[in-house]
């Protein structure tokens, strides 16, 4: 299957297994796909995974990589309180990329496309020095799309799932510390980001602003604060983490609070809400929106932890 056209024919079969996705007028195989987005506005986002920057090939399987690329892109759709309806994938393959890996990569993409709803409606294959996957994902909100702009003073701040887990998994892979007791659960979180479709589907009920945790909790919260012209105070003790987080951080000399606040790629949803009853049912309350336009993190005694200008604390 060295020939690009054979690859495309195979891709077409792989991605259209089962019924063509809703809205698909013309699928893979022509100059372009034709897709009926319907009468409502469409959420559109694009994300790139580049070998050597976002991943190393020996750190996850090709199918995990395919799934990760898809889920990372769709995560931005979820953060707009939308559900994924389709995607377009551009693959850049390095020289002599093994065919078995190519097939697994596509399997991972296709499986994640099915799991997220972002059916692959078109794509592009090209060569390049390293493996790279650019996914454009489309979504539709039940009501209005949720932006970063609606946070109001007094709103509670929430995070789904766990923070810092993916970043810790990444550090463990870098350090080669797969031997640690809880290593697998963090590495798995890096390899297989969560699919927050269910929370996304409920967000417009109660959230006032949302973003996905791709850069890092503190940085992404900063985006909400700047867009909403507010500030935020976080409770360090409230940050949700996976079992064994502090011990595993300690074992590799990482600061757990720093990782939870500044570790990226959790692909969790960070949102603000006034209705705590509904929000408490889907996520963990980690702080409150304030009028003073700065970010604060409070320790167990309610004292402000000094932060550097880039959002993390001064090391003493």
Interacting residues with its own copies (CB under 8 A) = 25-26, 29-48, 50, 52-54, 76-77, 79-80, 82, 88-90, 92, 121-124, 126-130, 132, 134, 136-137, 139, 145, 147-149, 210-212, 227
114 or 223: CB nearest its own copies: 223
Q: Which of 88, 90, 92, 89 is nearest to 51 (CA)?
A: 92
Report in angstroms how near the CB of residue 249 gets to its own copies at its nearest.
Answer: 26
Report in angstroms how near the CB of residue 148 gets to its own copies at its nearest.
Answer: 6
54 or 103: CB nearest its own copies: 54
Report in angstroms how near the CB of residue 178 gets to its own copies at its nearest.
Answer: 26
200 or 242: CB nearest its own copies: 200
118 or 242: CB nearest its own copies: 118
Site of tokens 């064994």: 244
77 or 261: CB nearest its own copies: 77
Report in angstroms how near the CB of residue 68 gets to its own copies at its nearest.
Answer: 14
In this structure, the number of other CB atoms found within 10 A of the CB of residue 237 comes to: 12
Structure tokens at 210: 């949302």
| Partner residues linked to 88 by β-bridges | 122, 136
106 or 249: CB nearest its own copies: 106
Answer whether 236's CB lies under 8 Å from 303's CB.
no
Report in angstroms how near the CB of residue 266 gets to its own copies at its nearest.
Answer: 14
Instruction: Compute the distance between CA of residue 265 and CA of residue 129 in angstroms, rounded to an integer.
Output: 24
**DSSP notation for 65-124:** HHHHHHHHHHHHHHTTTEEEEEEEEEEEE-TT--HHHHHHHHHHHHHHHHHHT--EEEEE
Collapsing DSSP to helix, strand or coil, 287 comes out as strand
Report in angstroms how near the CB of residue 15 gets to its own copies at its nearest.
Answer: 14
């Amino acid at each position: 299957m060295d020939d690009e056209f054979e690859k495309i024919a195979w891709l077409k079969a792989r991605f259209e297994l089962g019924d063509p996705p809703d809205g698909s007028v013309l699928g893979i195989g022509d100059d372009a796909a034709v897709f009926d987005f319907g009468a409502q506005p469409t959420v559109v986002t694009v994300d790139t995974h580049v070998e050597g920057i976002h991943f190393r090939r020996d750190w996850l399987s090709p199918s995990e990589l395919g799934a990760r690329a898809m889920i990372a892109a769709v995560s931005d759709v979820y953060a707009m309180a939308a559900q994924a309806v389709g995607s377009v994938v551009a693959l850049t393959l390095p020289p002599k990329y093994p065919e078995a890996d190519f097939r697994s990569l596509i399997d991972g993409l296709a499986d994640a496309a099915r799991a997220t709803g972002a059916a692959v409606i078109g794509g592009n294959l090209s060569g390049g020095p390293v493996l790279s996957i650019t996914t454009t994902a489309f979504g539709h909100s039940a009501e209005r799309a949720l932006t970063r702009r609606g946070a109001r003073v007094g709103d509670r701040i929430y995070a789904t799932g766990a923070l810092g887990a993916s970043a810790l998994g990444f550090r463990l892979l870098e350090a080669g510390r797969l031997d640690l007791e809880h290593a697998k659960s963090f590495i798995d979180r890096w390899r297989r980001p969560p699919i927050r479709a269910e929370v996304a589907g409920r967000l417009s009920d109660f959230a006032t602003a949302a973003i996905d945790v791709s850069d890092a909790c503190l940085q992404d919260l900063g985006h909400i604060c700047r867009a909403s012209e507010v500030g935020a105070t976080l409770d360090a003790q409230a940050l949700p983490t996976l079992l064994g987080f502090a011990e595993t951080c300690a074992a590799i000399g990482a600061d757990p609070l720093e990782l939870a606040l500044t570790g990226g790629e959790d692909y969790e949803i960070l949102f603000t809400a006034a209705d705590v009853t509904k929000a408490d049912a889907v996520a963990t309350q980690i702080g409150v929106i304030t009028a003073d336009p700065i970010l604060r993190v409070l320790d167990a005694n309610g004292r402000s932890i000094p932060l550097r200008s880039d959002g993390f604390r001064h090391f003493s």
